[in-house]
Amino acid sequence: MIYDKSLGGEGLLLSVEQMYQLDRLTIKSGISGETLMAAAGGGVARCISEKYGVGTAIILCGPGNNGGDGFVVACELQNQGWDVSVGLLGDRDALKGDAALMADKWQGTLMPLSEVTSCRPPDVVVDGLFGAGLARDIEGVAAAVIKTVNTWRCARIAIDIPSGINGDTGHVAGIAFQADMTVTFCRPKRGHVLLPGRCYSGQLRVVDIGIPERFIDRLTQSITLNNPTLWVGKYPWPMVMGHKYSRGHAVVVSGDEMHTGAARLAARAALRIGAGLVTVAAPSGAIVPLASQLSAVMIKSFVNQDEYELLLQDDRRNAWCVGPANGVTMQTKMRVLATLKSGHLCVLDADALTIFEESPDDLFAAIKQRENSGVVLTPHGGEFRRLFPDIAAQPIGKCEMAISAAAHSGAVVVFKGGDTVIAAPTGEAVIAANAPPALATAGSGDVLAGMITGLLAQGMEVFDAACAAVWLHGEAAKRFGPGLIAEDIEKQLPPLLRKLKN
């Protein structure tokens, strides 16, 4: 993704309605819709010419403002010496408003959209069919043309967002234009970074079309792209006067003797990210396999629930991670509830979530009974559906699901995936877009849970800790590259943290 930092507000992701609102406010302030459209189309043409020079182009224009932008692109490219043709969906006489004004300026080749499929592939195809607010599946001629041009060996450029991609959710409406580059306006949209929309957007360019910053500052709900500028100023860097006891004490609860790997991954990650002390609390039978693999991490055993609760009484052990390979058992459920009752900061992952599939309200009630939540839930898609079946069944996007789940549960929710969404009960949310496909490997989620726990132990605010850990998790995987396994992730943290600190 390329984002023009000179525009300010780095990382802000607009909803479709927010973009409409900005357009309305800008036009009301005296800047005409025609001026905005000219700036948008001109910006798209500029990005195309900068990347591809001069060549042949077919512009696909729809019946709305996205099509109007397309006519501007056609005129601009033709003026630069391109050989340009326009394929129009519908009748030219049916165009209205600014789109009709821009169409009237086009004096070149204009053909019905259906004829595009019989054309020779050009150097560049520009998609100006439908905008980000498309609310129905693409069918008929438009679908047939998109299907054809997606197979052409040429550069494919989308105006604002690829046609067929919902600007809020990233969902595909039947079929979608497969762009190599998308040129959007003012700020990226949520559908550019949520999956599968991100896979259709290609390289993302953002151009300024003249919307005043003061209008952007008025937006009430802010959803942003997860990036260090949001939380690096709150990162718990070691202090000269500090010591290991002031760096917090993280505890990871292990499974039985056959299931200790997840706890070891989480514990090492908590230690590597800076927790002063890390302990693995384990059933007595797991002590030997744990001790044979851990050095700087301490081990505490428990035989039963009473002994587990005795460990919780030490307030110095201030952040707990429960769930990785703990087993979907009543014992795990009892440990989760006891940990929540203790008031300690807490990350609940994997089995600690699945065990509440039949009684999620028990979990949420225990969270909400705490004075300060201090709880992070880290579900992947399957765990989310088990814990929040009613929310998962709604026809809404991942961002809205995570926000609703956080409000319902009272916890920070890290809804994992290639487009991880972190949401707080207050409605604050960020979307992470830096996770490489290599992170889809056994144990990577255990490492993430440990990283969040380690930051919580050091006193980082819960939402910020989740955002920082998710970003570092993705960057560590990118740094390692192909062949990544979970054990490699925490080893990439030292150079990343050095770079972050500097």
**Rounded distance, CA 78 to CA 250, Å?**
63
So what's the pLDDT on residue 220? 82
Asked if residue 232 is part of any domain, the answer here is: no
Span 31-52, average pLDDT = 98
Asked if residue 343 is part of any domain, the answer here is: yes
Span 226-238, average pLDDT = 95
So what's the pLDDT on residue 265? 98
Co-location of 191 and 295 in the same domain: no
Co-location of 183 and 287 in the same domain: no
Co-location of 279 and 404 in the same domain: yes
Strand ranges, E, within 266-396? 277-283, 298-302, 319-322, 345-348, 375-377
Co-location of 114 and 263 in the same domain: no
Asked if residue 350 is part of any domain, the answer here is: yes
pLDDT in tens, 379-437: 999 999 999 999 999 999 999 999 999 999 999 999 999 999 999 999 999 999 999 99
Co-location of 173 and 115 in the same domain: yes
Co-location of 40 and 159 in the same domain: yes
**Rounded distance, CA 113 to CA 88, Å?**
5
Co-location of 343 and 377 in the same domain: yes
So what's the pLDDT on residue 418? 95
The secondary structure of residue 113, as a DSSP letter, is G
Q: CA dist 210 to 23, 55, 67, 75, 102, Å?
A: 10, 29, 20, 20, 18
Span 298-313, average pLDDT = 98
Helix (H) or strand (E) holding 479: helix 462-480
Co-location of 16 and 138 in the same domain: yes
Q: Which of 222, 257, 276 is the last residue of a domain?
A: 222
Q: Which of 163, 188, 222 is the last residue of a domain?
A: 222
Any idea what the CATH number is for the domain that residue 254 is in? 3.40.1190.20
Co-location of 211 and 321 in the same domain: no
So what's the pLDDT on residue 3? 42
Asked if residue 233 is part of any domain, the answer here is: no
Co-location of 29 and 127 in the same domain: yes
Asked if residue 237 is part of any domain, the answer here is: no
Give me the domain span that covers residue 205: 5-222
Span 42-68, average pLDDT = 97
Kindly report which listed range (62-71, 180-189, 200-209, 212-221) carries the lowest average pLDDT score.
Answer: 212-221
* pLDDT at 270 exceeding the cut of 50: yes
Any idea what the CATH number is for the domain that residue 25 is in? 3.40.50.10260
Co-location of 129 and 278 in the same domain: no
Asked if residue 58 is part of any domain, the answer here is: yes
Co-location of 93 and 144 in the same domain: yes
3-state secondary structure at position 209: coil
Mean pLDDT over the full length of the chain: 96
**Rounded distance, CA 238 to CA 289, Å?**
32
pLDDT in tens, 11-29: 899 999 999 999 999 999 9
Span 49-58, average pLDDT = 98
Which residues make beta-bridge pairs with 347? 321, 376
Q: CA dist 67 to 50, 62, 106, 155, Å?
A: 22, 4, 12, 19
Asked if residue 229 is part of any domain, the answer here is: no
249 close to 279: Cβ distance less than 8 angstroms? yes
185 band by pLDDT with thresholds 50, 70 and 90: very high
Which residues make beta-bridge pairs with 58? 85, 125
The secondary structure of residue 255, as a DSSP letter, is -
Share of the chain above pLDDT 70, in %: 98
Residue 469 neighbours by CB under 8 Å, 6+ apart: 273, 448, 451, 452, 454, 455
* pLDDT at 10 exceeding the cut of 70: no
* pLDDT at 455 exceeding the cut of 90: yes
pLDDT in tens, 110-150: 999 999 999 999 999 999 999 998 889 999 999 999 999 99
What is the maximum span of the chain, computed from C-alpha positions, in angstroms? 83
Q: What angle do CA 269, 235, 412 make, to 5 degrees?
A: 70
CA-closest candidate to residue 473, choices 266, 327, 322: 266
* pLDDT at 444 exceeding the cut of 60: yes
Q: Which of 188, 222, 256 is the last residue of a domain?
A: 222
Asked if residue 255 is part of any domain, the answer here is: yes
Share of the chain above pLDDT 90, in %: 95
- DSSP letter string over 368-395? HTSSS--EEE---HHHHHHH-HHHHTSS
Residue 24 Rama label (left phi>0; alpha psi -120 to 50; beta) = alpha
So what's the pLDDT on residue 207? 96
Which residues make beta-bridge pairs with 128? 61
Which residues make beta-bridge pairs with 277? 249
Span 307-322, average pLDDT = 97
1 band by pLDDT with thresholds 50, 70 and 90: very low
* pLDDT at 2 exceeding the cut of 50: no
Number of domains in the chain: 2
